[in-house]
Amino acid sequence: MRAATRRVGRPAQPTDIPADEEILARGLAAFAELGYDRASVRELARRLGVSHNFINDRYGSKERFWRAVIDRSLAAQVARLRDVLNVAGEDDLARLRNLVHAFHQANVAEPDLPRILQYESIRGGERLEYVFQRYLVPVRDAVAPLVQRLVEQGRVRSVPIDVMVYAVVAMNSVNAEVSLVSLLGDTFATDPQGFARMLGDILLDGLVMGAGG
């Protein structure tokens, strides 16, 4: 009997490929640690636990894999913020405060996203625009009418919306600067959620009319 021969071609994919959610989570961690440019396809494959051609076969390119990773994280973040924004019967000022807290708490819980945002913010370009359009624009557009109502009611200071959104986003840099923050004291190490909440309160108390007397 003639022995079966194996066709020449690409090596077989491993049978124990992680689930899609795990692949995207590992990808997020890799891009956050290495940055886009240093995250080669080979290094990504090693960290994902897949063959070197997996990313191109499954996603088409490293760029498209990066977008899939970002989309997974952004969708969850935006959904959380919309849930807070849409709580019925809540006072507008309480809604704004809860929204800012939710934004910071979400990024403390998943710090890799703000690290990637910081990396892309320094470089600019299409990837930053991608994150901006899918993350910051929905947040800005959802918050703007709420802030405008509070300004008209004389409850918060009239601050340009771009200044306010930047102030909120900039406070997330704590997630990318843990080493520096740890040198300042042990508050973040012992209570990262509380640290983020205090940052939000400092920002909000600076906006609220009459806060602090």
Segment 97-142, tens digit of pLDDT: 998 898 888 888 888 988 998 899 999 999 999 989 988 888 788 8
Instruction: Tell me the per-residue pLDDT of 157-188, one tens digit each, with 9 for 90 and over.
Output: 999 988 988 888 888 788 778 888 889 999 98
**What pLDDT is attached to residue 1?**
47
C-beta separation of 171 from 206 below 8 A: no
Residue 14: is its pLDDT beyond 70?
no
Cα 74 to Cα 192: distance, rounded to the nearest angstrom: 21
Residue 13: is its pLDDT beyond 70?
no
**What pLDDT is attached to residue 180?**
86
In whole numbers, what is the pLDDT of the chain averaged over residues? 86
25 Cβ partners below 8 Å, 6+ apart? 72
The overall pTM is greater than 0.85? no
Q: Which two tokens stand for residue 73?
A: 């994280």
To the nearest whole percent, how much of the chain has pLDDT over 90? Answer: 47
Give the number of other Cβ atoms within 10 Å of residue 72's Cβ.
17
C-beta separation of 92 from 131 below 8 A: no
Lowest mean pLDDT among 15-19, 128-132, 155-159, 189-193: 15-19
Mean predicted confidence (pLDDT) in 71-83: 84
Give the number of other Cβ atoms within 10 Å of residue 20's Cβ.
11
69 Cβ partners below 8 Å, 6+ apart? 24, 27, 28, 31
